[in-house]
């Protein structure tokens, strides 16, 4: 398919917001596909919970993206006002096949002008904050992710994994998405999760 | 609680194996708790799918760990024979409250002598490989994670998220684990996942 998937990084991006989709999309990538992290500079990114990551390419030198993924995290409140970043996202989105966000990454899509007239979502705890910024937004409070045209926004943090698996179904086919789901062994079954393993003593 | 959680990194560690638990454990951490990445050196780690991460501390300078998490990934086949790493894991496990692995991270626990007489698990696709290396191991082919004494091994990749949430229930309490689960919005509902969002057109 020879697609380039770009995961946009910035300081205080939430780790699992981008690391979940990174795992899904790199696991699904076929020969010729690339998944890269892109950032304003090559300096180490310090994520919201302290993880330090080295971006692969800068906005200036990265190839054009076929799929854009913008994570959330507390840093989105700063980056919404970073026109270098929002211009990059807007410019890439104009030619990309899919533009996606996880969690409050949708704040950045909005700031880049990509949510006008579109339905979207964000982290459950950020819905009211988002409506405070953008009162006319059509936000879905229930969905794990929302598809509107070529813009896809996922709810909080781990919802990015589900959205990325759905995206694999679109980019390739549903069987490949199922195979990827099986590879990452994504068959959680909350609510048993927090009390007891099925095999705990 | 003033615990230190150490996530052991090495080249070709699988990204989501450690990034899932990292998110859960950093989100759950209370004042005084630390979650750090530890590696043999401070050189950037190149993970299995190409992500480059900067470790926080080396095996030599990290504080003693209360919780150890060893991820899997193709790199475990090399690191099983890295006595610097296996000695570090064995040494820390001797004093830690919990020693945990995700995916083929259990290969490293085994190499560190921590699975003798214990029940464990690994990625579904690595069970037979593991039994080829360690025929006497008591491996659970079905569990999302297995608890045996103070050693906890999770199945493949995303199972580390479930195991980490269970661990939060042990380290703090079940309500805190539920709150953490809600914070990362971990309420996936496969198998709808790959075909259709609940709100897709």
Whether chain B has a CB inside 8 Å of the CB on A92: the answer is no
| b/e B88-112 (16+ beta carbons within 10 angstroms → b) | bbbebbeebebbbbbbbbbbbbbbb
Long-range contacts of A122-130 (CB under 8 A, 24+ apart): A122/A72, A122/A153, A122/A155, A122/A156, A123/A72, A123/A155, A123/A156, A123/A157, A123/B185, A124/A155, A124/A156, A124/B185, A125/A156, A125/B183, A126/A72, A126/A156, A130/A104, A130/A106
Report the pLDDT averaged over residues A17-39. Answer: 97
What integer pLDDT is reported at residue B161 of this predicted model? 94
**How does pLDDT run across A184-201, given as a tens digit for each residue?**
999 875 544 444 444 443
Q: Please say if A103 is a catalytic residue.
A: yes
User: Which of B36-50, B100-114, B179-193 has the weakest average pLDDT?
Assistant: B179-193
Q: Which of A103, A114, A126, A171 does the annotation list as catalytic?
A: A103
B199 Cβ partners below 8 Å, 6+ apart? A119, A121, A140, A142, A143, A145, A146, A147
User: What's the mean per-residue pLDDT of chain A?
Assistant: 92
Whether chain B has a CB inside 8 Å of the CB on A170: the answer is no
Percent of chain B whose predicted confidence (pLDDT) is above 70: 93
For residue B108, is pLDDT > 90?
yes
Architecture of domain B4-183: 3-Layer(aba) Sandwich (3.40)
* pTM of the shown model: 0.94
Are A166 and B190 an interchain contact pair (Cβ–Cβ within 8 Å)? Answer: no
Are B147 and A200 an interchain contact pair (Cβ–Cβ within 8 Å)? Answer: yes
ipTM of the complex model: 0.93
Task: Give the length of chain B.
Answer: 201
A54 Cβ partners below 8 Å, 6+ apart? A37, A42, A44, A45, B44, B52, B53, B54
Whether chain A has a CB inside 8 Å of the CB on B37: the answer is yes
For residue B190, is pLDDT > 70?
no
Are B181 and A201 an interchain contact pair (Cβ–Cβ within 8 Å)? Answer: no
Report the pLDDT averaged over residues B14-29. Answer: 98
Q: Residue window 61-80, chain B: list those with CB within 8 Å of chain A.
A: none
For residue B51, is pLDDT > 80?
yes
Q: Where are the domains of chain A?
A: 4-183
Percent of chain A whose predicted confidence (pLDDT) is above 70: 93
**How does pLDDT run across B172-184, given as a tens digit for each residue?**
998 899 899 999 9
What integer pLDDT is reported at residue A189 of this predicted model? 59
Q: How far is A138 from chain B (nearest CA, A)?
A: 13
What integer pLDDT is reported at residue A160 of this predicted model? 94
What integer pLDDT is reported at residue A188 of this predicted model? 74
**How does pLDDT run across A139-169, given as a tens digit for each residue?**
999 888 999 999 999 999 999 999 999 999 9
For residue A69, is pLDDT > 70?
yes
For residue A101, which residues of chain B lie inside 8 Å, CB to CB?
A: none
For residue B8, is pLDDT > 80?
yes
């Amino acid at each position: 398919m020879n697609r380039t998937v770009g995961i946009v990084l910035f300081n205080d991006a939430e780790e699992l917001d981008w690391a979940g989709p990174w795992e899904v999309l790199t696991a699904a990538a076929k020969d010729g596909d690339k998944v890269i992290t892109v950032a304003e500079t090559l300096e180490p990114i310090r994520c919201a919970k302290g993880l330090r990551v080295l971006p692969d390419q800068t906005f200036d030198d990265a190839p054009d993206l076929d799929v854009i993924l913008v994570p959330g995290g507390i840093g989105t409140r700063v980056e919404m006002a970073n026109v270098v970043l929002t211009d990059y996202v807007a410019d890439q989105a104009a030619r990309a096949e899919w533009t996606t966000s996880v969690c409050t990454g949708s704040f950045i899509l909005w700031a880049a002008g990509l949510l006008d007239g579109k339905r979207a979502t964000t982290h459950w705890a950020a819905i009211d904050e988002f409506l405070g910024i953008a009162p006319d937004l059509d936000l879905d409070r229930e969905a794990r992710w929302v598809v509107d045209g070529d813009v896809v926004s996922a709810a909080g943090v781990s919802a990015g994994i589900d959205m990325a698996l759905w995206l694999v179904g679109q980019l390739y086919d549903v069987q490949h998405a199922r195979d990827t789901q099986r590879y990452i062994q994504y068959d959680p079954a909350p609510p048993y999760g927090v009390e007891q393993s099925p095999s705990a003593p």
